[in-house]
Chain A
Amino acid sequence: MSQRSAGSGARRSRPGRSQVILDDDEPDVSSQPSSSQVQRARCSFTPQQIEQKVAEVVQFILIKDQKKIPIRRADVVKHVVKEYKGQYPGIIRRAGQTFEQVFGLNLVEIDSKNHVYILVNKLHPLPGEPISMCPGSPKTGLLFVILSLIFMKGGTVKEILVWNTLKKLRVYEGVKHEEFGDVKKLVTDVFVRQKYLEYVRIPHTEPLEHEFRWGARAEQEVSKMKLLQFIGELHNEEPQTWTQQYREAASVESNPR
């Protein structure tokens, strides 16, 4: 909690040298003797300084992940890495190793063009935990219903079908829900930003229509096979009853990402 920032506020001071702001678009250093100072600054980060940066990046990502907000490289550089930008690939690789070794989390790049990352848990919650590993939120239940619907309908569903389904659970598009608040915002905005859902416009529709698909985080975190087994239990059927879905779930299972 940031009350502590009101205290001594002892920021670890860095040697002044590393404060030199670097022009980071690979300069042709060799042809410019005057930039030798810059070059020295670039190489002058000690292993301890790099270590410190890695730790800061790990903390930054953990904090962002608490709200399930995907992490953009641009933000990591702007808020944490700063003048260490030239060292970014090494730093992010080390951060990834730390997540794996210490926390059992995978740092996954879900968008390699814009460099967007999420954390995916390698350890799954289990029944019979003395204290829950991820205290459940009712919102997760709502999300699960929507993901199931999309999966069972072949990967894409029109928005109207989602709302009609939720209506049966007494969750209404325009009505403030006791638990979920503004449901429309939760489903079409929050879940979408968290990358659990994709919400896209269907082209050439008048009036405007949207459809839902699984988002990148759902693809990483949610097991289609487990979902299908759950649906099977509800219907008292074997998961194999749904041939197409079973095939897809099995193929994901056999090709671990």
Chain B
Amino acid sequence: MSRQMGDSHRRFLQTMMSNGVISSSQASALHRHCCETHGAHYSQEKVEDFISVINAQLQPLFMHIRKGMSEEDGLDYFALVNMAKTDITKMSSDYADNELELFRKTMDLIVDSENGTASSTDILNCADSLQTKKLKKKETEHVLNKFVQDKWLNEIEGEYTLSTRCIIEMEQHMRTIYPDLIKRCFVCHNIAIQGQICENAVCGIKIHLPCVARYFKGRTDPHCPSCNDFWTHEIPEVQQYSSQTLQSQSSCAKENTAGPSTSSTLATRRSRRS
């Protein structure tokens, strides 16, 4: 097996660089496209090997293509993350200091909240108290839009959540600055921001929504997997296309039009709040 970087790898990397994050089904389609374009050997199940060849080259450059699960649809995504902490990367963002402060405050609100969301009203309120430079309401809305466009935040009906890209890239950082607030999902053991929390105050375990759906599927009388208390939350439906290995390019096209968050997670969240 060749560990050598070829044009197929370079094309894959460039696409990652301009998109930031792609779903695993997109990654498979892209893998195939890149191999076919440059006449490289292609085997369908080897996408992770293919990416590891790229990662070996990126490692000395403080970059990495990392996999993570979306808390919204439960699917895997790949993000190109930057691991350097030098002055240079500070310049990497197009964001002004007060915009970055707004992002930090938004992240505080989201991590502090029980279900991993922050309302636009709360974010707008804290924009008044920025230390760097205050943002007007209109400006704040514009900046929040930019965060969504750049795939750092997701927004549904005025509720903001951390995007998959953001969680993949910032996981380490969040663990450092919120050591007591960040929980792991009891089912998949990954970092959990959005999810349901066991109502038993002594227990209080957290489970991702897609993990809740999969874990309690078909059970009429759900109980907490840790303390065995009754699980009071509404159990979301398992999404139709969550069996990832079988995904075809058609689901990839579907994601492109529907965006990363789907209607069923939306429904779950609304029912939770009511």
B84: Cβ under 8 A from any A Cβ: yes
Q: For residue B248, give the distance in angstroms from its CB to the closest CB of chain A.
A: 12
Q: Which residue of B lies closest to A135 (CB)?
A: B18
Q: Are A126 and B10 in contact (CB under 8 A)?
A: no
Q: A123-B7, A133-B15 are in contact. Are A3 and B107 (CB under 8 A)?
A: yes
Residue from A2, A103, A130, A134 within 8 A of B249 (CB atoms):
A130
Interface residues on A, range: 35 or more
Q: Mark B155-194, 1 if CB is under 8 A from A, else 0.
A: 0000000000000011011001100000000000000000
The complex places the Cα of A135 from the Cα of B88 at a distance, in Å, of 25
B5-44 interface (Cβ within 8 A of A): 5, 7, 10-11, 13-15, 17-19, 22, 26, 29-30, 32-33, 37
Verify if A83 is at the interface (C-beta below 8 Å from B): no
Q: Are B14 and A1 touching (Cβ within 8 A)?
A: no
Q: Is the CB of A7 within 8 A of B176?
A: yes
Q: Does B100 contact A (CB under 8 A)?
A: yes
A7 to B87, CA, bound (A): 13
Asked if A63 is at the interface (CB within 8 A of a chain B CB), the reply is yes
Which of these, B15, B19, B88, contacts A63 with CB under 8 Å? B88
Contact B33 A130 (CB under 8 A): yes
Provided the pairs A4-B173, A104-B10 are in contact, do residues A132 and B62 lie with their beta carbons within 8 angstroms? Answer: no
Determine the distance from Cα of A80 to Cα of B91 in the docked complex, in whole angstroms.
Answer: 12
Given known A4-B170, A58-B61, A63-B91, contact A135–B19 (CB-CB < 8 A):
yes
Flag A1-38 by CB within 8 Å of B: 1 or 0 each.
11111111111100000000000000000000000000
Considering the chains assembled together, what is the distance between the CA atoms of A247 and B223 in angstroms? 77
Q: Is the pair B62, A102 in contact by a Cβ cutoff of 8 Å?
A: no
Q: In whole Å, how far is A255's beta carbon from the nearest beta carbon of chain B?
A: 23
Smallest beta-carbon distance B268→chain A, Å: 28
Is B60 a contact partner of A11 (Cβ separation < 8 A)?
no
Given contacts A55-B60, A56-B86, A102-B58, contact A130 B30 (CB under 8 A): yes
Interface of B (DSSP majority class) = helix
Please tell me if the beta carbons of A129 and B15 are within 8 angstroms of each other in the complex. Answer: yes
A60 within 8 Å of B by Cβ?
yes
* Closest-CB distance, A84 to chain B (whole angstroms): 14
B270 at the interface (CB under 8 A from A): no
Residue with the highest number of chain A CB atoms closer than 10 Å, among B10, B82, B94: B10
**Is A134's CB under 8 angstroms from B18's CB?**
yes
Please provide the chain A residues from 60 to 119 with a CB less than 8 Å away from any CB of chain B in the complex: 60, 62-63, 67, 79-80, 98, 101-105
B104 part of interface (Cβ distance < 8 Å): yes
Minimum CB–CB distance from B15 to chain A (whole Å) comes to 5
Q: Does B273 contact A (CB under 8 A)?
A: no
B22: A residues at CB distance < 8 A: 131
Contacts A1-B152, A3-B170; A131 near B30 (Cβ below 8 A): yes
C-alpha spacing A134/B90, complex, angstroms: 24
A residues within 8 A CB of B19?
Answer: 131-132, 135
CB pair B62 A55 closer than 8 Å: yes
Let me know if A102 and B88 touch, CB within 8 A: no
Contact A55 B61, CB 8 Å, known A102-B5, A123-B14 = yes
Give complex CA distance A69, B19 in Å: 19
Give the residues in chain B near A1, CB-CB below 8 Å: 82, 92-93, 95, 100, 103, 152, 169-170
> Within the complex, what minimum Cβ distance (angstroms) separates B178 from chain A?
11
B88 / chain A contacts, CB cutoff of 8 Å: 56, 59-60, 63, 79-80
A7 to B170, CA, bound (A): 10
| A121 in contact (CB, < 8 A) | yes
CB distance from B235 to the nearest CB of A (A): 33
23 A-B contacts, Cβ less than 8 Å apart?
Answer: A2-B93, A3-B107, A4-B89, A4-B170, A5-B90, A6-B173, A8-B85, A56-B86, A59-B86, A79-B87, A102-B5, A102-B10, A102-B13, A104-B10, A123-B10, A123-B14, A128-B33, A129-B15, A130-B32, A132-B18, A132-B19, A133-B14, A135-B18
Given contacts A101-B5, A130-B249, 8 further A-B contacts (CB under 8 A): A1-B95, A1-B100, A2-B89, A4-B89, A8-B176, A58-B61, A79-B91, A132-B18
Which residues in A have some Cβ–Cβ distance to B below 8 Å? 1-12, 51, 55-56, 58-60, 62-63, 67, 79-80, 98, 101-105, 121-123, 126, 128-135
Q: Which residues of B contact A (CB under 8 A)?
A: 5, 7, 10-11, 13-15, 17-19, 22, 26, 29-30, 32-33, 37, 57-58, 60-62, 82, 84-95, 100, 103-104, 107, 152, 169-170, 172-173, 176-177, 249, 252
